[in-house]
Amino acid sequence: MKTCCSPNPRPIPELLTILTMKRSLLLFMMMFAAATRLTAQPVCMPWGNIKGMIIDGEMMAFETSLRSVSPGWEAYVKTEKYHWAGQQTYTVEGESHLVSHYLLGTPLHYRCRMTGTGAGKASTEIDIRAEEAYKQAGTFYCFETPESEFSDGSLIFFLKNKQVATLSLNEAVKNEKGELIRLRADRVEWKSPRRNYRITAGKATEVFLRQDFDSNPAYRNDPWPQQQFATSDPRMEKAGYQLYFTLIDGNAGKGESRNMAFSLEANGTIDREPATVRITPSQPGRVWSGISGNFRFQFPETDPMVIDYCLDSLRVTMGRISMWWEMWHADEHSDPAEMARAGKLPLRFYEQMELARKLQQRSIPVIVSVWSAPDWAVDKNNIPRKGVHLDQQKMKSICASISGFLLYLKQEYGVEAVLFSFNETDCGVEVFQTPEEHALFNRAIGAELQAKGLATKMLLGDTGHGTAVANQLVWPSISDPSVHNTIGAIAFHTYHGCNTADLEAWARSARAINVPLMVTEGGTNSAAHRYPLVFLQPWFQLGEIDTYIRICNICQPATIMEWQLTSDYSVLTGKGLYGDNGPLRPTQRFYNLKQLGNTPEGSFWIPASCDRPEISCAAAVDIANDTYSVHMVNNGPRREVVLNGFPESVENLYIYITDANRGMKRMNNIRVVNGTARFTIEPQTFTSLFNKPAETNHIR
């Protein structure tokens, strides 16, 4: 399993047993049949929040959550995705999503059922219980909306179907408690020129409205459950609105429990204005190799079938494997190569080596990464520091151990790794490095690999976060010219950050040293192994490819490596994966990769832009073969698109669509006239246009 911040993931046999009890093939097929109704469905999160309502392809933006607020209203903890502690459950039953967990750092346990109840309608039922006494200002059901949606709107409050108050938001003033209004109600209606929302509680309760900033705002895409309230934000002029429905008022007593049901309704104006997309082929940028994958071999019963399917059906251009250093050299005073040749290492080590050989046989270059260090290589000092650090006094032995492995891999299996890295040292999975330690290690290992005659170069960064903060890890190495000849690429992972400012920081670092930029772990949620049915949700699958397309446009990466092309975080289902006992077959995520991967190897990324924020786009050109590729993810409704910038040689475009119901389906061709193509982009889809037919066969 992915282990970013989670050193003890659930074993796959246990996972499959649980899922099989909850899911059946019939249920899985029903869920995908329901995808045709996604044009008016709630977006249900596997931690208990409803994050908006998709109506005719357009997102009605809001988010519900369960919150416990500190006694002084300085901080709160909410239902959120990066809650790594305890046991979490998530199941899907038709239109219902069922979640159970507890609020991080509290004894407040909850069960939540979220259900789509019709076009633009949903319901939530919450059970909460305090297993121990807990001091707090209260526990609340919170309904939050962006300020931009309702700055010129109003709230109407009802009690037993009688209107009891109206609040014009542009005239609202906070009281001494920071509240815009407080009263008893059982229904609240939000109204603005563009949006109409209604929240109805199963019974009357104390309701109040606030407008607070967070210390870790949502746009950072780093959503931890525990938050501090803030008075301002450097990128937001005004905070969103938070409407609180009181569940437990004040401290929670041991054994205290509440049950509350809420119904939600949303509708609004659908923005169907045409979009203009412009590409600039005259400015070719960095080169694209293709999509790639991680192959950290962990589950011998299920990994081989998924790996073979993906290698047979996708054009995989690179593979990343685990060194399993703690297996390779557990005893500092042993000769690991001799032990390996004698067959004395754990079976998983040899299985990973054979997989590296399989990749080599298919001419797929291999990256080797380390997750965990053997005990002898760890700094035992009692100085309190974040995570596990390498022992700087043993750097010579550490480098010799690593180079010895890379030599063994080359000599015994015929695989010379193109790049080497430590995995996610910015967050300590499982080794932590400061930027200075990262630079010192790069200098030491780079010299060692050169001395041993290995062509392997260092992969700089390989961070777990795709943030500008994580990007700081690479700059001491960039600032040291003596190591530049040992650095082969810069890389990051996509689980956190990845907004425009973050991605621009990574692009700058790659340009500064003029090496390729790679995404060495692609995905949007490193905690997803805790609730794996989320991988099958259409919103999740579209969001993943949206992230990749934005990265392609801003960062111009050489490759994006999916985590993983094994049964862990699988892009396939069936044969027991996700509790589905049907045949092994692709999911929407698989087709997303295949469609992006049809951008020809050797293409150069070119500038691409769209005047509608709901559409992400990227474009590339293979100049030598006069081949053009344009990718668009439409997170909004159906609309007309005017696509400009093609040369006279392009007269025809082939369109392919992947969504909840179609896997890289070829649509009718469109004509290009005077460099411009016009077509209709469908809602909630990944659409690609090529001026030459893409490869759609070879899918098992």
Q: pLDDT tens for residues 452-499?
A: 999 999 999 999 999 999 999 999 999 999 999 999 999 999 999 999
Residue 289 and residue 364 in contact, taking contact as beta carbons nearer than 8 Å: no
Say how many C-beta atoms besides its own lie within 10 A of residue 163's C-beta.
Answer: 12
- Scanning 233-387, the segments in alpha helix (DSSP H) are 303-313, 325-328, 336-341, 347-361
Q: How far apart are the C-alpha atoms of 374 and 330, rounded to whole Å?
A: 5
Identify which of 623, 624, 625, 618 has the alpha carbon closest to the alpha carbon of residue 687. Answer: 618
**One-letter identity of residue 687:** T
Is-contact 260 124, C-beta < 8 A? no
- Best CA proximity match to 538, nearest among 200, 113, 54: 54
Q: Where are the domains of the chain?
A: 38-268, 323-522
- Give the other-Cβ count within 10 Å of 316's Cβ: 24
Verdict on whether the full-model pTM lies above 0.75: yes
> For 369-388, b where at least 16 C-beta lie within 10 A, e where not — what string?
bbbbbbebbbbeeeeeeeeb
CATH class of domain segment(s) 323-522: alpha beta
CA distance 138 to 80: 18
CATH 2.70.98.10 for domain 38-268 = yes
How many CA atoms does the CB half-sphere of 35 hold within 13 Å? 23
CB 108 within 8 A of CB 76: no
540 within 8 A of 524, measured Cβ to Cβ: yes
- What are the distances in angstroms from CA 185 to CA 85, 143, 170, 257, 647? 35, 14, 22, 21, 62
User: In this structure, are residues 497 and 223 in contact, taking their beta carbons and an 8 Å threshold?
Assistant: no
Separation between Cα atoms, residue 444 and residue 217, nearest integer Å: 39
SS3 515: coil
273-282 tens-digit pLDDT: 999 999 999 9
Cis geometry, peptide bond prior to residue 227 (ω within 30 degrees of 0): no
How far is Cα of residue 158 from the mean position of the Cα atoms in its chain?
Answer: 39
**Alpha-carbon gap, residue 454 to 523, rounded angstroms:** 31
CA angle 432, 435, 439 (to 5 degrees): 100
The ranges of the chain with pLDDT < 50 are 1, 3-38
Question: How far is Cα 322 from Cα 348, in angstroms, rounded to an integer?
Answer: 10
In this predicted structure, what is the pLDDT of residue 694? 84
Q: Residue 242: which residues within 8 A CB-CB, separation 6 or more?
A: 142, 143, 144, 209, 210, 211, 212
Residue 191 φ then ψ, to 5°: -135, 135
